[in-house]
Amino acid sequence: MSPNPVAPEFRAALEVLPSFDGISDATLDATRKAFIAAIRNVRVRHYPDVTVTTGHVPGPPGAPQVPVVTYRPVASHPGAPALVYIHSGGIVSGTPEVDDARCRQIVSELGMVIFSVDYRLAPEAPYPAAIEDCYAVLKWVHGHAAELDIDRQRIVIGGDSAGGGLTACLALMARDRAEVPVLFQLLIYPMLDDRTGTTVMPPPVMGEYIWTRAANHYAWNAYLGQIPGGAGVPGYAAAFRAADLTGLPPAYIGVGSLDLFLDEDLDYARRLMAAGVPTEVCVIPGAYHVFDVFIPDAPLSRAFTQSYFAALKRAITRD
């Protein structure tokens, strides 16, 4: 019998973790509710030094306003660095609530102001709804930097899973539209390539837990409005499909060694580096998808968190 590849500190949680494996149009509503319920069952730290407000910003032309959750340090100072954050959920589920604990910790420890985007979900709103919502928020934050008391030269974008993939797409869009300078892109186990699990098959050990090949296929199909893996998918939909990665902001990519996205994430990191983009990579051994969200106090989860916190701190620190 082969040894269990899951790190010992992550094994006990496998019995209670949510799974997206059976997701379909028929089960989508139940899956969305189960995801939020699982997040609410995680014990997290309280951060009394962080304030949270909700609001809306103008959406893309012809689209609704975009809900945004704003996190600020209680003792905030003018000219703080900002992070436009994009939540997880496969682009078919989730809200800013799923990354609430992560956002609060970043604000508490790094003093950033975070604008967490409640973008429209597929299949109700397929591509390009989500990425255009995210761009609308990024542009609004940059345009209102003075009244938001943030430094418009220190705007970072970031997200995890689907949010990490949207972050990579947002970096491409911001580069091409040349309206908002992005300082840094934080890609936490990002969902980058629609072909994974459809025309590109990772080793069987990857993607066994939480986010599987079947879930990935469903989500990409819902977002793209077509069978994933085909020709003509734009880089603004799936960042891995972009032909030109030059001129992008420095990047951090972190992922677990058992994550379905491991290969695409490492390949994207190599392509970024080949394009001259400063890129840091962190791989956590024996970790499956979103391991740090559901087992945040495990030593490997803490090491992972400190890894990307350090990358963020370097990015926003003035010389």
Q: Could you list the active site residues?
A: 161, 259, 289
| Maximum Cα interatomic distance, the chain, rounded to a whole number of Å | 61
CA distance to 149, 212, 295, 300, per residue, from 66 (Å)? 20, 29, 30, 35
3-class DSSP state for residue 57?
strand
Residues 6+ apart with CB under 8 A from 307: 254, 282
Neighbours of 6 (CB within 10 A): 22
Q: Using an 8 Å Cβ cutoff, are 305 and 105 in contact?
A: yes
Q: Using an 8 Å Cβ cutoff, are 84 and 71 in contact?
A: no
Residues 6+ apart with CB under 8 A from 292: 298, 301, 304, 305
Residue whose entry in the numeric block shows the structure tokens 């997200």: 159
Neighbours of 257 (CB within 10 A): 16
